[in-house]
């Protein structure tokens, strides 16, 4: 009988160990299930896959028939490509030369020029359809390049340009006059900062403000403060969302070091809410409201446009309901809810995304347009979250400073911006804003459908994305036809069309005419040829075969 005691003891120990481990396994399983199933939700896997993708490029023959098009269509495309190349060479000669010369010393240009299209096509496109990176003037809703070509501006200055280039030029000009007396004296505050802080607290509905040099810095500080006050380690971001290039908010491809305290979860998911309710290590949740246009998908760019599966579908009511659920869970669990409005702030409404969706965050970050066109980052937050030290532990601080924080010229430009924003006459620009831009998108989509063009647009107010309705490997070519029609795009191409709010109906009609003309020319030139065998799935399979053949030397 005594011999059975060790066995019983071991059994009891095994049961106790299993009981201790089981909750951890359950939590880990719940976390895994809350991740978005694509690579955008699995940062480590995405980096592993990225390392395995081999470089290869098409020669002159395969370039034009990589989708299996017949020889006559490939010849049609080739003729059109080099015809377009001649137009680019004649029209943009000075700008292209300046860009090529500058790219030898500007690493940013080297990156953007290489990643405008899928890498298999990049070399031939760079050599023949190189674009100019230099503009010399702006007026109204147009910009003029160094060759004198006038474009309708759809770049939005990466989101800065909400009210039009002339508006920001006025803000900067007036700001310079007001800041001139003090000049670039750093450290002391310009008196105008008190008005800026008051207005920012009113707009955000929060208690305190801190100034930074960029949106990325503002997000860094918001996360740091959340961790400091909650005494928790992890942040939650949603699959595909962009919050700047700081490591902890950019896991996966593009970050050499994988962060260990970041959870990338699925947007608009009950499983995500379950994780937030049950884990004890989550300090904050970051929300970029722009993701409402394409939840769980990365920021769209033509360099990743390998087929026609890119989609966007903004549902204001559904996303607003999701944010309300998120707000409830964060309140319940003491998690800091951070709205990253660096991109959309003041574009959707004078009160930003908080006002637009009817949800209050614990902290909000702003940037871009807020300083009247000058660089800035701002954190607004609850009083208890913004404090950077503890009264009872004087050495326990949460440090953040910057040489150019609260620069006099930036602060006076911010005051110019906020003063105009507060004007009743100016504020009227937001009345019927969604109706205006939704109506314009619907009108353009109707024209595209009537003309039997495989293109549609989706939008979040004045932020648009182009999507494609028939399978193709060549959708990225549309950006070059659009530029030839005098539409200025950012380097990501048709993934982001950002309108300033000063576009009149006449301005928009001109853009729509040019957009339709570009799509018609592209269709005429054979780029959207397809037969029954060409599907998005088959295109992806073909690309996988190409990669395997390159990898294994076949």
Instruction: Annotate 426-474 with DSSP letters as a single string.
Output: HHGGGTTHHHHHHHHHHHHHHHHHHTT-SEEEEEETTEEEEEESS--S-
182 touches 383 (CB < 8 A): no
CB contact burial 472-489 (16+ within 10 A = b; e otherwise): bbbbbbbbbbbbbbbbbb
Instruction: Annotate 328-370 with DSSP letters as a single string.
Output: HHHHHHTPEEEEE-TTTTTTS-TTHHHHHHT---SEEEEEGGG
pLDDT of 145 reads 97
pLDDT digit string (tens) for the chain, length 554 residues? 455 555 545 555 555 554 555 677 888 788 778 777 777 777 777 778 878 788 999 999 899 999 999 999 999 999 999 999 999 999 999 999 999 999 999 998 898 888 999 999 999 999 999 889 999 999 999 999 999 999 999 999 988 999 999 999 999 999 999 999 999 999 899 999 999 999 999 999 999 999 999 999 999 999 999 999 999 999 999 999 999 988 898 888 877 887 889 999 999 999 999 999 999 999 999 999 999 999 999 989 999 999 999 999 999 999 999 999 999 999 999 999 999 999 999 999 999 999 999 999 999 999 988 988 899 999 999 999 999 988 888 888 888 877 778 899 999 999 999 999 999 888 889 999 999 999 999 999 999 999 999 999 999 999 999 999 999 999 999 999 999 999 999 999 999 999 999 999 999 999 999 999 999 999 999 999 999 889 999 999 999 998 988 888 76
Per the DSSP assignment, residues forming a β-bridge with 367 are 377
What is the rounded CA–CA span in Å between residue 522 and residue 453?
Answer: 10
């Amino acid at each position: 009988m005594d011999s059975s005691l060790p066995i019983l003891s071991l059994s009891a120990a095994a049961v106790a160990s299993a009981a201790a481990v089981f909750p951890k396994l359950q939590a880990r399983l719940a976390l895994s299930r809350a991740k978005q199933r694509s690579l955008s939700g699995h940062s480590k896997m995405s980096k592993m896959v990225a390392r395995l993708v081999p470089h290869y490029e098409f020669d002159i023959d395969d370039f034009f028939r990589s989708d299996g098009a017949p020889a006559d269509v490939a010849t049609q495309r080739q003729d059109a490509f080099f015809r377009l190349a001649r137009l680019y060479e004649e029209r943009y000669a000075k700008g292209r030369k300046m860009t090529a010369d500058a790219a030898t010393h500007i690493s940013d240009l080297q990156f953007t020029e290489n990643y405008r299209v899928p890498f298999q096509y990049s070399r031939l496109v760079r050599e023949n359809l190189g674009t100019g990176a230099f503009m010399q003037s702006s007026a109204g809703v147009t910009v003029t390049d160094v060759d004198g070509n006038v474009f309708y501006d759809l770049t939005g200055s990466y989101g800065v340009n909400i009210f039009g280039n002339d508006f920001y030029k006025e803000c900067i000009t007036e700001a310079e006059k007001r800041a001139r007396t003090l000049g670039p004296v750093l450290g002391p505050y310009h008196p105008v900062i008190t008005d800026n802080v008051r207005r920012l607290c009113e707009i955000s509905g929060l208690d305190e403000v801190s100034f930074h040099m960029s949106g990325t810095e503002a997000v860094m500080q918001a996360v740091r403060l959340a961790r400091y006050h909650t005494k928790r380690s992890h942040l939650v971001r949603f699959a595909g969302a962009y919050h700047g290039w700081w490591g902890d908010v950019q896991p996966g491809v593009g970050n050499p070091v994988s962060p260990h305290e970041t959870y990338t979860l699925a947007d608009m998911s009950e499983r995500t809410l379950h994780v937030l309710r049950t884990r004890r290590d989550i300090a904050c949740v970051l929300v970029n409201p722009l993701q409402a246009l394409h939840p769980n998908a990365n920021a769209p760019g033509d360099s990743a446009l390998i087929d026609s599966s890119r989609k966007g579908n903004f549902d204001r009511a559904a996303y607003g309901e999701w944010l309300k659920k998120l707000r409830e869970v964060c309140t319940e669990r003491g998690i800091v809810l951070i709205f990253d409005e660096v991109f959309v702030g003041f574009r959707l409404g004078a009160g930003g995304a908080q006002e637009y969706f009817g949800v209050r965050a614990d902290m909000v970050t702003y940037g871009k347009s807020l300083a009247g066109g000058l660089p800035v980052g701002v954190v607004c937050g609850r009083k208890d979250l913004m404090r950077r030290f503890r009264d009872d532990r004087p050495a326990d601080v949460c440090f953040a400073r910057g040489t150019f924080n609260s620069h006099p010229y930036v602060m006076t430009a911010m005051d110019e911006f906020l003063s105009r924003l507060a004007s009743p006459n100016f504020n009227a620009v937001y009345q019927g804003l969604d109706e205006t831009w939704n109506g314009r998108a619907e009108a353009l989509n109707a024209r595209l459908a009537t003309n039997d063009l495989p293109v549609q647009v989706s939008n979040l107010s004045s932020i648009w994305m182009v999507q494609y309705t028939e399978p193709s490997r060549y959708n990225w070519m549309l950006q070059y036809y659009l530029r030839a029609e005098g539409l200025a795009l950012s380097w990501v191409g048709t993934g982001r069309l950002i309108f300033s709010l000063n576009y009149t109906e006449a301005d928009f009609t001109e853009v729509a005419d040019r957009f339709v003309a570009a799509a018609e020319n592209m269709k005429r030139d054979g780029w959207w040829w397809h037969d029954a065998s060409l599907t998005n799935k088959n295109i992806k399979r073909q690309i996988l075969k190409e990669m395997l053949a390159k990898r294994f030397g076949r």
